[in-house]
């Protein structure tokens, strides 16, 4: 469970009508320009944007802001074994505006860490298991002054946050496609809960729509 000393987490995603955040071939092109503008606006309001390694490998995003003036924020990547390419956009694109933090486990060799530190990447270790311990990570980030995070996926990282009830708010864009496919990534992947009553419940705080897109905002129940 989440204590007081954790960052506020906003999960943000664009998904198809059937809840997919990319096609089975990994096509992520779900948002239209209006949606990107809204997401970039949201990025101006947080201390950090967080994604999983899968999103870096598949999309190689810059995680920057195109439409607004701003002073930057941290880009945080969860990559247990520190294996994303060192020339990924999150490392080489504007590190002076968007410093990058990569969160790893205790098991990564020092030499590997040094290579990334030479590129001005900050490394944070959390957990001794096979994956980054997200609960412990939340306290570490909070202690480092990161109080508000936009969690931008993908589906497997979203599950880790939902499983541990760490998501405070959700902003979803539903785009007008049904793409199907059991191998297409859903908003939340992972093992899932057996019962509704065991899963975190959210309350609808806002609904908006324009052309064929619906924007939903949810907040966690008290
Ligand atoms: N439509 C949208 O809004 C949107 C947004 C973002 C992404 N996407 C799509 O989502 C897809 C990527 O999603 P994905 O599920 O494959 O990857 P992901 O969630 O981005 O990353 C998952 C990876 O993160 C690493 N990780 C480290 N610690 C973790 C932890 N505690 N819990 C979970 N993962 C952890 C794991 O790799 P290690 O075990 O090696 O560390 C894991 O395989 C892409 O196709 C992308 O286009 C869509």
What's the CATH number where 27 sits?
A: 3.40.430.10
DSSP state of 77: E
Confidence (pLDDT) at 4? 58
Average pLDDT over residues 62-80: 95
The answer to whether the CB of 38 is under 6 A from ligand 1 is no
The answer to whether the CB of 28 is under 6 A from ligand 1 is yes
pLDDT, mean over the chain:
96
| Centre of ligand 1 from the C-alpha of residue 174, in Å | 20
pLDDT for residue 2 is more than 50: no
What is the total count of domains within the chain?
1
Average pLDDT over residues 55-76: 96
DSSP strands (E only) in the chain: 8-16, 48-52, 74-78, 100-104, 122-125, 148-151, 169-175, 202-210, 213-220
Look up the domain containing 24 and give its range.
8-220
Residue 173, classed as helix, strand or coil, is strand
| Closest ligand 1 atom number to CA of residue 133 | 31
| Closest ligand 1 atom number to CA of residue 130 | 39
Residue 135 lies in a domain: yes
Phi then psi for 111, rounded to 5 degrees?
Answer: -60, -40
Residue 78 lies in a domain: yes
Q: How many percent of the chain have pLDDT more than 90?
A: 95
Q: Which of 19, 157, 179, 188 is the best mutation target for the ligand 1 pocket, counting ligand atoms within 8 Å of the beta carbon and taking the most? A: 157
Q: What is the Cα 119 distance to its own chain's centre?
A: 22
Residue 2 lies in a domain: no
| Centre of ligand 1 from the C-alpha of residue 91, in Å | 17
DSSP state of 20: B
Residue 3 lies in a domain: no
The answer to whether the CB of 151 is under 6 A from ligand 1 is no
Q: Which of 13, 35, 54 is the best mutation target for the ligand 1 pocket, counting ligand atoms within 8 Å of the beta carbon and taking the most? A: 54
Confidence (pLDDT) at 43? 96
Confidence (pLDDT) at 221? 81
More confident residue, 2 or 113: 113
Is the pTM of the predicted complex or chain greater than 0.85? yes
pLDDT for residue 15 is more than 50: yes
d(CA 220, CA 175): 23
Residue 72, classed as helix, strand or coil, is coil
| Closest ligand 1 atom number to CA of residue 31 | 1
- The per-residue pLDDT for range 140-195, each reduced to its tens digit, is 999 999 999 999 999 999 999 999 999 999 999 999 999 999 999 999 999 999 99
- The per-residue pLDDT for range 93-108, each reduced to its tens digit, is 999 999 999 999 999 9
- The per-residue pLDDT for range 121-142, each reduced to its tens digit, is 999 999 999 999 999 999 999 9
pLDDT for residue 1 is more than 50: no
Average pLDDT over residues 3-8: 82
pLDDT for residue 40 is more than 50: yes
């Amino acid at each position: 469970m989440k204590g007081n000393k954790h960052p506020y987490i906003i999960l943000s995603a664009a998904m198809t009508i059937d809840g997919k955040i990319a096609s089975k071939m990994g096509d992520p092109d779900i948002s239209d320009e209006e949606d990107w503008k809204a997401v970039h606006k949201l990025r101006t309001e947080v201390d950090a944007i967080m994604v999983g390694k899968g999103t870096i490998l598949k999309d190689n995003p810059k995680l920057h802001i195109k439409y607004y003036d701003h002073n930057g924020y941290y880009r945080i990547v969860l990559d247990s074994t520190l294996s994303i390419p060192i020339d990924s956009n999150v490392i080489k694109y504007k590190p002076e505006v968007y410093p990058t933090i990569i969160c790893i486990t205790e098991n990564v060799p020092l030499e590997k860490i040094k290579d990334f530190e030479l590129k001005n990447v900050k490394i944070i270790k959390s957990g001794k298991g096979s994956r980054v311990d997200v609960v412990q990570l939340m306290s570490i980030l909070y202690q480092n002054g990161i109080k508000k995070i936009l969690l931008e996926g993908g589906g497997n990282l979203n599950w880790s946050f939902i499983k541990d009830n760490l998501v405070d708010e959700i902003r979803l864009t539903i785009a007008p496609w049904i793409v199907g496919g059991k191998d297409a990534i859903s908003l939340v992947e992972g093992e899932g809960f057996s019962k509704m009553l065991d899963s975190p419940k959210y309350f609808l705080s806002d609904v908006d729509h324009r052309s064929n897109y619906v924007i939903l905002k949810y907040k966690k129940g008290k």
